[in-house]
Amino acid sequence: MNEHVAVVDLGYGDAGKGTVVDALCAAATVRAVLRFNGGAQAAHNVVTEDGRQHTFAQFGSGTLRGVPTHLTRFVVVDPLALAAEAAALGNPFELLTVDGDALLATPWHRAANRRREAARGVSRHGSCGMGVGETMAYALGHADAPRVSDTLSRTRLRRRLAAVESDLGPAGVPLDDVVEAFLAFGRTVSIVGPGYEQRLLREGPCVFEGAQGVLLDEWRGWHPHTTWSTTTFGNVSALCGSYRRLGVVRTYTTRHGAGPFVTEDSALDLPEGHNATGEWQGAFRVGHFDAVAHRYAVEVAGGVDGLAVTHLDVPGRCPELRLCESYAIDGEPWTRIVPGPARDLDHQAALTRRLERARPGALRRPDDWAVAIGGLLGAPVVIESHGPSAADKKILQLHS
């Protein structure tokens, strides 16, 4: 690997970004893994060849290989969740750098997030309950929203956390306890300023690790069942001028919680070892490979240079699994979801309502799943994954 690579999920998340990043780090010398969106709600499961396992949230998925992690300014950093994850990994803080301009998620953001979602009742939007969206929303209306660099100043940190508590309401935790925990975070991690990413990029090939999926993008997903995060390559392009775009899909489509899912089929026997029904996310849903939705993801992401297809071992265990190449909506055949205007949530909400009425068209079972998926999405398959570890990956091509 001699180029930077950005790894993006072309679905609703859970396609295997973590295991793909781990495989890239195992196959080549990688200077660093840069996280470029999301926060502590990520759950990227990695299993190494010797049986080590970790579900990564804020640390990059190359950590078990000794590859450094950099949390860019686009990541919502949760110091309390980070401390717990670090402890599970043996506290590898020497491998971590954090942009001082990144937003801080606090217990008050998390509590407000859960109250808001619970109040929606059966009309929940879908949430991981970690307060990431609440943190982003708060920052839009408050220029003094707490940021990572604030953990270097007790006075400024306390003032800004007190303002969050006052604005968002109680979280069942004393302010001074949070202040002390966040100050400890500031003493422990390496907090860096503007330009650090450029230094990393000059020093060697880097892997950009995305969170969630393009079909959950804040502007391009099925509103309002989306995330407060740019899940396309947009943030990567703001950080790096030249990189390879790698899109990740499973051989079947999955979704956590509420929102349209045209190819959902609860009769499919697809047990999931690392995903289950959650209090805030809701049920883990599975369905046939949705080429229509994944083609839309490729288009709104600006295209991909290659695909990583995971779970290629599953079709052999699930003979009922199929590919869906078209929908029927109000009697009309759809083979393409036409992207709407940029940042038009009214359009996305109307699209959501139409997709809720959609039904899958004819389903087919291919002889070669990787070849079929590559053809349907119009991109070469450059990584084939037949299992959880890097040893189960076949890397066919990483550069042009």
Residue 36: pLDDT over 50:
yes
pTM of the model: 0.94
Which of 305, 276, 254, 280 has its CA nearest to residue 16? 254
CA distance 296 to 294: 5
Domain ranges of the chain: 5-91+195-395, 107-189
Q: Do residues 68 and 51 lie in contact, with contact meaning Cβ atoms separated by under 8 Å?
A: no
Q: What is the mean pLDDT of the chain?
A: 94
Residue 74: pLDDT over 90:
yes
More confident of the two residues 197 and 125: 197
State the average pLDDT over residues 360-389.
97
Residue 277: pLDDT over 90:
no
pLDDT tens-digit profile of 203-217? Answer: 999 999 999 999 999
More confident of the two residues 177 and 116: 177
CA distance 235 to 398: 21
Q: Is the dihedral of CA 372, 373, 374, 375 positive or negative?
A: positive
- Residue 1 is predicted with a pLDDT of 67
Which class for 390: exposed (0-12), middle (13-18), buried (19 or more C-beta within 10 A)? buried
State the average pLDDT over residues 365-394.
97
State the average pLDDT over residues 260-266.
97
Share of the chain above pLDDT 90, in %: 88
Is 107-189 CATH 1.10.240.10? no
Share of the chain above pLDDT 70, in %: 94
- Residue 125 is predicted with a pLDDT of 57
CATH no. of 5-91+195-395:
3.40.440.10
The residue count for the chain: 400
Any long-range contacts for 225-228 (C-beta under 8 Å, 24+ apart)? Answer: 225/125, 225/126, 225/257, 225/258, 225/259, 225/260, 225/352, 226/125, 226/259, 226/348, 227/38, 227/132, 227/133, 228/132, 228/133, 228/136, 228/137
CA distance 293 to 290: 6
- Residue 115 is predicted with a pLDDT of 87
236 — pLDDT class (breaks 50, 70, 90): very high
- Residue 113 is predicted with a pLDDT of 86
Which class for 400: exposed (0-12), middle (13-18), buried (19 or more C-beta within 10 A)? exposed
Which of 86, 67, 50, 60 has its CA nearest to residue 388? 50
Residue 387: pLDDT over 70:
yes
pLDDT tens-digit profile of 14-30? Answer: 999 999 999 999 999 99
Q: Write the DSSP symbol of residue 310.
A: E
pLDDT tens-digit profile of 114-151? Answer: 888 777 676 655 666 678 999 999 999 999 999 999 99
- Residue 58 is predicted with a pLDDT of 97
pLDDT tens-digit profile of 148-170? Answer: 999 999 999 999 999 999 999 99
